[in-house]
Amino acid sequence: MGETGLEDGEKLRKRIKGLGISYDRIAMDDWDSFLAAFAEDNHDTGKKQHRRDRLV
């Protein structure tokens, strides 16, 4: 599997914001790159936070 770097996390955050998507919280893996890129956002980390059965 590839490595996800800070540049990837920043590109993802920029793309989400560029699409006009807003959120109060974001669920994500606890990868260092995502934690750094989304540091100013309110976030939950770990697999249990973004499982399909939690969306109801």
Per-residue pLDDT reduced to its tens digit, 1-56: 457 788 988 999 999 999 999 888 888 877 888 888 888 888 777 666 555 555 54
Residue 30 near residue 46, CB atoms below 8 Å: yes
pTM, whole model, 2 decimals? 0.64
Note the pLDDT of residue 25. Answer: 83
Predicted pLDDT of residue 51:
56
Confidence at residue 53, expressed as pLDDT on a 0 to 100 scale:
58
Residue-level pLDDT at 1 = 45
**Domain residues of the chain, as ranges?**
6-51
